[in-house]
């Protein structure tokens, strides 16, 4: 145990209202337990639910999800070192950041939706001060760079204006009906994803058949109770919390790291029913893709697909290249490697066990395929995740 960290008092200004916030706090607690058991002041509020430090609290550092100008001004009046964990305010003088990599988030979202054959995209984020406009910009840029168009929800009112539920439903419904179906929509977060799904239902728009919805973050409750259950991007909240605590520890000991902003990539996609569709109008390709999704982790080859789908190998190759830009064999490998990344990040299984679970004959073949696709070995990838956690 590091004696220097005994009795450190750290304020954690992160809400516990969603899965991400709880994950960040858990990551901070993980670091604290390994480095002296800090005294954590969790999300202090006054009677009006505003951030408020107790009068007698004397702290050593602060980790905050800075979400408003008022909160920022309040923090600037204090003398403790501060680490910010959200992107609403980033790059501020005197404050360090450990935040989600929005560029990586956008690429993950686009890849997930393109893998399902979508060529029409939209972004849904009603005006709010609770999230950064950078999330949407990164996704829109990624879509455009891929050669497609992204239609953004722009209701025509400013942040702060109060809009009733019925009026908001009318505006969103009008926007939805202006979109070309089928369309894939990335929503800024899980709450807005569930809201969009509800409005789709009230408007007679089928999810995912006409509108596929992917939430930009994961809130387990919101995603699970949504109808249909909501696909989402799994952010590395716990890793962000751990890394923010490690950075704050350095600041509390007088260090001044040259890098002021650390970006943590999301963990991956949690696929649920709201994107469980293949927006492809070729029945043979759809059947082939369904077969791959179901059997990829078995020892299948392209010949097995042809036994299930009445089409010549040449035709199947041409159609896969047309819709997905890759061959059937490459799609089998992609699905397996995507599963491999997930297991490397979320489990303690050995490389050999992961290889078998993903449908590879052995760890050597898994390693060769993984390195060819991602430029590093599975072990190096796992070590990189561990380093970003600490």
**Residues in CB range of 70: below 8 A, 6 or more apart:** 50
What percent of the chain has pLDDT above 90?
A: 72
The mean-pLDDT minimum among 45-59, 109-123, 354-368 falls in: 45-59
Across all residues in the chain, what is the average pLDDT? 91
Q: What angle do CA 15, 17, 22 make, to 5 degrees?
A: 70
pLDDT at 3: 46
pLDDT band at 55 (very low <50, low <70, confident <90, very high): confident
Quick one: DSSP state of residue 275? G
51 or 364, higher pLDDT: 364
Tell me the pLDDT tens digit for each residue of 191-208.
999 999 999 999 999 999
Domain at 102-234+270-275: CATH code = 3.40.50.2300
Between β-strands 268-270 and 231-234, what pairing exists: parallel, antiparallel or unpaired?
antiparallel
Fold agreement (3-99+236-269, 283-389)? no
Domain at 3-99+236-269: CATH code = 3.40.50.2300
Question: 272-283 burial string, b = 16+ CB within 10 Å, else e?
Answer: bbbbbbbbbebe
Give the other-Cβ count within 10 Å of 6's Cβ.
Answer: 12
**CA–CA separation, 81 and 64 (whole Å):** 11
pLDDT at 319: 93
Q: Which CA distances in Å does 98 have to 71, 84, 86, 301, 318?
A: 18, 6, 8, 43, 45
pLDDT at 364: 95
The mean-pLDDT minimum among 109-113, 186-190, 283-287 falls in: 283-287
Per-domain boundaries in the chain: 3-99+236-269, 102-234+270-275, 283-389
pLDDT at 5: 46
Burial class (CB in 10 A: 0-12, 13-18, 19+), 356: middle
Between β-strands 261-264 and 211-215, what pairing exists: parallel, antiparallel or unpaired?
unpaired
pLDDT at 53 over 90: no
Q: Which fold has domain 283-389?
A: Arc Repressor Mutant, subunit A (1.10.10)
**CA–CA separation, 390 and 384 (whole Å):** 10
Tell me the pLDDT tens digit for each residue of 323-339.
888 999 999 999 999 88
**CA–CA separation, 248 and 82 (whole Å):** 7
């Amino acid at each position: 145990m590091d004696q220097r960290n005994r009795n450190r008092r750290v304020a954690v200004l992160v809400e516990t209202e969603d899965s991400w916030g709880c994950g960040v706090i858990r990551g901070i607690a993980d670091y604290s337990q390994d480095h002296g058991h800090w005294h954590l002041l969790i999300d202090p509020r006054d009677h009006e639910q505003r951030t408020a430090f107790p009068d007698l609290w004397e702290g050593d550092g602060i980790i905050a999800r800075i979400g408003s100008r008022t909160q920022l001004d309040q923090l600037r009046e204090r003398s403790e070192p501060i680490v910010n964990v959200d992107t609403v305010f980033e790059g501020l003088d005197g404050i360090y950041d450990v935040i989600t990599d929005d560029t990586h988030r956008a690429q993950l979202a686009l890849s997930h939706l393109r893998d399902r054959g979508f060529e029409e995209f939209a972004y849904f984020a009603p005006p709010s001060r609770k999230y950064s406009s950078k999330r949407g910009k990164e996704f829109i840029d990624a879509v455009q760079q891929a050669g497609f168009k992204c239609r953004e929800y722009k209701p025509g009112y400013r942040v702060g204006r109060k809009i009733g539920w019925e009026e908001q439903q009318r505006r969103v419904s009008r926007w939805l009906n202006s979109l070309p179906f089928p369309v894939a929509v990335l929503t800024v977060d899980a709450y807005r994803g569930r809201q969009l799904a509800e409005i789709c239902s009230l408007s007679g728009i089928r999810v995912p058949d006409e509108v596929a919805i992917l939430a930009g973050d994961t809130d387990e409750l919101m995603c699970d109770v949504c109808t249909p259950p909501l696909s989402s991007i799994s952010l590395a909240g716990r890793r962000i919390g751990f890394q923010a605590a490690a950075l704050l520890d350095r600041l509390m000991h007088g260090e001044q790291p040259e890098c002021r902003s650390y970006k943590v990539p999301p963990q991956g996609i949690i696929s649920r029913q709201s994107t469980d569709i293949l927006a492809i109008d070729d029945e043979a390709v759809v059947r082939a893709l369904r077969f791959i999704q179901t059997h990829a982790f078995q020892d299948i080859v392209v010949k097995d697909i042809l036994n299930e789908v009445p089409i010549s190998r040449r035709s199947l190759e041409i159609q896969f290249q047309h819709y997905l830009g890759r061959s059937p064999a490459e799609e089998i490998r992609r699905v397996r490697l995507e599963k491999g990344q997930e297991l490397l990040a979320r489990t303690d299984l050995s490389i050999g066990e992961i290889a078998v679970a993903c449908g590879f004959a052995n760890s050597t073949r898994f390693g060769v395929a993984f390195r060819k696709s991602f430029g590093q070995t599975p072990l190096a990838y796992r070590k990189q995740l561990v380093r970003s956690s600490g």
